[in-house]
Structure formats: structure tokens, C-alpha cells
């Protein structure tokens, strides 16, 4: 670990330390959302609702592939940060090498398991007759490119784990810029529509993965991708999967929630699905900003958990206040401009009305969903596997029965409001577990923030 990163871990004022770790992550994630919005905008200019529907329907598949990267990346990344806090540098190298090669293997398994099941996967995603061909194109390309997608999310996490927040951001920005350029080419020049969009996503992840691998190989003092450091001992596996498995399960549940939600929305037509797809992309911008903040400080929390728990407490307190301020600002912007935002993507009046309504409702839970993300980050950073596991399943377990009941009682409106209810339950459960664990994490933590 270089001297600058060590300074931010150990000595910099809390505001500067949080900014160092979180701002690059926030910028990187916000650029990813800008890409997602531009992606939908580019396809929207073609005037084909089936394409927009296909992109919305395939979100669960991307969530599953991404979750494999987070399974290895988040589990390894938080473990590496704790090892660095304890100055166990050789073990950190073993974990980083394990993360690199296991990610590639997982991606190859996805190809072998997924390609023979293309048709069941497409129908399982809820493809409509109008979107069937587009959905199949996207699924095929994403499965074939899954090793690069898994590797991208893994490497982004472990690069960030040693405090290289700027490098992490550069990799994310590189992926987004390449993706946007390729999108414009494949849509407007080559006319490959959804097939081109999926290909651009895979290629951009490959480019960013190469960037991260080169940085680790040539510039990182405590990370490596060398096979000679690879080790899959029980010690490494237990610490990686203790946090990685809950992250994976949470991602799977998020994908399953999106899948179940799409099946409920199908009852209300393609406009409902497309409206949710557009509004969810717009909601992603503030959500990913808050997620970038919370995930950005995870290495700092993990390092200080083993090195300086008072500093950990101060980091969490400042992050919580920042979440609240950002949620208020974003909420005001959306409530003043929602119709105009939706109209960027379509001129269909029914689609604008549905999308605007979904945006209004889902923004109500922005603060609690942001705080819940912080709770999850705390559990991951401090190695609280059981708490992380509970958080990984609680929202999905809540949403599915609530969706069923709310749909029966209040139709389309009930389906939309189910998202807010699930977020609220997850927040309450996370707050309760944090209170229960307060003594284990830090005695002062209770008195200052939870009592």
C-alpha cells in the first residue's frame, strides 16, 4: 500500500478520508447510470417499445452475472482491507490471486450452463411476443461474455480494497466511455439494435478488466494476479465466502425481485414494463450515487475495524449524514421534473404517465434504501456474515408476498408501492441488527448513533 493511501486510511480528517474513498466511487457509479440512461435513450429513438421492454426484462440476468463478480470481489475486497489493517501483506496477495482466477472460472461455468438453456431463460424472463427476439439476442451475448463481466466486478472491488479509489473510478469511467461510443456505433451506424447494445456492454467490461489487471500486475504493492500466489485454503475460502455468499444471495434476490415484478407488470401491458424500465434507470442515478458513497467507504470501515474502531465510528456517522442530505436534494429534483425526465425517452402519453408515477412512489424510499446500503456495507466490512446474510434475503422475502397481496388489493398501484414497503422492512431489520451488534463493533458507537 502506498503512503498516500495509508494516510487516508489512518490519519486524514474524516471528511477528507470519506471523500477520497467515496467520491471516485460515486463518480464511477453515476457514470454507469448515465450510460444506462443513454442506452435506453438511444434505443428509444428507434421508436420500438419491444426493444425497451427487452432491455428491462434482461436486468435480472445481468444482476445474476454481476452477483458472481460481487461474490468473489466483495468477499475478497473486504477481507483484503482487513488484512492490510493487520499488515498481513502476503495473505492479501494470495486472496487477490484467488479472486482473479476464480472469477474467470465462474464466468466459464455460466457459459457452459447457460447457453444450452437459452430458450427457457428467455421465456423465464417474461419476454412478450413483441420483445422475444430482442430478449434472446441480449441473453445470448451476455452469457457468452459473462467471464469478462464477472471479472470486471471482481477486479473493481479488489483494486478499491487497498485504497486505490482513483484507479477504481478510472476503470469504471473507461468502461462507460467505451460502452457509450460503441453503443452509438452499433445502433446508428451498424443498426445492430439490442444485439449491438449487449456486445458493447461485454466489450467495455473486457477493456476495463484489462486496465485493472495491468494496474494490479505492474503498480500494486500488495495485490497480484500471478498464478504463483494462488491459494484456495480453507482460511481464505471461509473469509471470502462468509461475506461474498450473502452479497451473491442479495444480488440473486434483487434479480429475482425484478423478474417477479416484471411478471406482475406484464398484466398491465408493455407500457407498464417499459415505464418501470425507464423510471428504474432514472432512479438508478441517485441510488448509485448513494451506493457509491456507501460502497466507497467500505474499505475504510474494514481497515479501521481492525486498526482504529473510534475512526470507524466517525466514518459511519459522517456517511449517514451525507446520505440524508443527498436524498433530500435528489427527492426535490425528481418531484419537480419527473414528467420532463420521462419524456426524454418516449412521447407516448400513457408511458410518460406510468413512468412518472413509478418515479414519484419509488423516490419516497431513497433515504431508507441508502441507509440500508450503509448497514449492509458495515456488516460486510466488519465480517458480520450472519447479519450480512439476513440482509441479503430480507427484502426479497418481504417483496414477493407483499407484491401478491398488493396486486390483488390495488392492482398496478399496489405493485408499485410494494417496492417501498420492502425497502422499509429491510431498513428496520438492518437498524435492529446494528443495534444488537453495537457492543461488538464499538462501545461508543451505541451511545453516539444508536441510542
Per-residue pLDDT of 217-228, as tens digits, reads 888 888 888 888
Domain boundary assignment for the chain: 3-446
Overall average pLDDT of the 54-74 stretch: 81
Find the range with the poorest average confidence among 70-74, 291-295, 395-399: 395-399
pLDDT at 448: 41
Q: Quote the mean pLDDT of the chain.
A: 81
Q: Quote the radius of gyration of the chain (alpha carbons, Å).
A: 21
Taking residue 340's Cβ as centre, other Cβ atoms within 10 Å add up to 10
pLDDT at 346: 66
Overall average pLDDT of the 52-58 stretch: 75
Give 403's contacts (C-beta < 8 A, 6+ positions apart): 260, 261, 264, 414, 415, 418
Overall average pLDDT of the 408-437 stretch: 84
pLDDT at 88: 85
Contact 168, 160 (CB under 8 A): yes
**Rounded distance between C-alpha atoms, residue 203 and residue 166, angstroms:** 22
Overall average pLDDT of the 193-204 stretch: 86
Nearest CA to 369 among 394, 389, 352?
394
CA dihedral 217, 222, 228, 229 (to 10 degrees): -140
Angle at 34 between CA 76 and CA 160, to 5 degrees: 20
Statement: the pTM of the whole predicted model exceeds 0.75: no
pLDDT tens figures, 416-425: 888 888 888 8
pLDDT tens figures, 6-53: 777 777 888 888 888 888 878 777 776 676 667 667 776 776 667 777
pLDDT tens figures, 112-137: 998 888 888 888 877 777 778 788 88
Whether residue 449 has pLDDT greater than 70:
no
More confident residue, 305 or 52: 305
| Cα–Cα separations (whole angstroms), residue 149 to 144, 199, 380 | 10, 11, 22
Overall average pLDDT of the 75-80 stretch: 87
Amino acid at each position: 500500500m502506498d503512503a498516500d493511501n495509508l494516510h487516508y486510511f489512518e490519519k486524514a480528517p474524516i471528511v477528507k478520508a470519506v471523500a477520497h474513498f467515496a467520491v471516485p466511487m460515486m463518480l464511477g457509479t453515476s457514470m454507469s447510470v448515465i450510460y444506462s440512461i443513454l442506452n435506453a435513450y438511444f434505443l428509444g429513438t428507434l421508436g420500438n417499445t419491444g426493444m425497451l421492454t427487452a432491455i428491462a426484462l434482461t436486468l435480472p440476468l445481468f444482476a445474476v452475472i454481476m452477483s458472481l463478480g460481487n461474490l468473489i470481489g466483495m468477499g475478497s475486497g473486504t477481507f483484503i482491507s482487513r488484512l492490510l489493517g493487520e499488515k498481513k501483506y502476503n495473505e492479501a496477495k494470495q486472496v487477490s490471486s484467488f479472486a482473479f482466477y476464480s472469477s474467470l472460472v465462474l464466468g466459464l461455468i455460466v457459459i457452459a450452463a447457460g447457453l444450452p438453456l437459452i430458450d427457457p431463460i428467455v421465456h423465464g424472463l417474461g419476454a412478450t411476443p413483441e420483445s422475444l427476439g430482442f430478449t434472446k439476442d441480449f441473453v445470448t451475448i451476455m452469457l457468452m461474455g459473462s467471464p469478462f463481466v464477472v471479472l470486471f466486478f471482481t477486479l473493481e472491488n479488489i483494486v478499491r480494497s487497498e485504497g486505490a479509489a482513483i484507479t477504481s473510478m478510472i476503470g469504471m469511467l473507461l468502461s462507460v466511455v467505451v460502452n457509450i461510443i460503441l453503443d452509438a456505433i452499433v445502433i446508428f451506424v451498424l443498426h445492430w439494435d439490442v444485439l449491438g447494445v449487449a456486445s458493447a456492454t461485454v466489450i467495455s467490461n473486457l477493456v476495463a478488466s484489462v486496465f485493472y489487471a495491468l494496474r494490479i500486475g505492474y503498480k500494486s504493492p500488495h495485490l497480484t494476479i500471478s498464478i504463483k500466489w494462488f491459494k484456495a485454503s480453507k482460511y481464505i475460502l471461509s473469509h471470502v465466502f462468509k461475506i461474498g455468499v450473502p452479497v451473491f444471495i442479495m444480488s440473486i434476490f434483487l434479480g429475482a425481485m425484478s423478474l417477479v415484478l416484471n411478471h406482475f407488470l406484464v398484466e398491465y401491458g408493455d407500457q407498464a414494463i417499459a415505464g418501470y424500465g425507464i423510471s428504474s434507470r432514472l432512479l438508478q442515478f441517485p441510488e448509485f450515487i448513494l451506493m457509491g458513497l456507501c460502497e466507497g467507504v467500505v474499505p475504510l470501515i474494514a481497515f479501521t475495524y481492525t486498526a482504529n474502531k473510534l475512526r470507524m465510528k466517525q466514518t459511519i456517522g459522517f456517511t449517514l449524514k451525507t446520505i440524508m442530505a443527498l436524498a433530500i436534494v435528489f427527492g426535490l429534483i425528481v418531484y419537480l421534473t419527473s414528467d420532463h425526465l420521462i419524456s426524454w425517452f418516449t412521447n407516448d402519453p400513457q408511458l410518460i404517465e406510468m413512468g412518472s408515477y413509478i418515479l414519484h412512489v419509488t423516490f419516497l424510499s431513497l433515504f431508507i434504501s441508502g441507509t440500508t446500503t450503509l448497514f449492509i456495507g458495515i456488516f460486510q466490512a466488519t465480517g458480520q456474515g450472519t447479519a450480512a446474510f439476513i440482509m441479503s434475503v430480507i427484502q426479497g422475502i418481504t417483496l414477493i408476498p407483499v407484491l401478491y397481496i398488493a396486486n390483488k388489493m390495488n392492482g398496478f398501484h399496489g405493485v408499485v408501492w410494494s417496492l417501498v414497503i420492502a425497502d422499509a422492512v429491510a431498513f428496520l431489520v438492518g437498524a435492529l441488527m446494528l443495534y444488537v451488534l453495537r457492543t461488538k463493533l464499538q462501545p461508543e458507537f451505541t451511545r453516539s448513533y444508536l441510542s
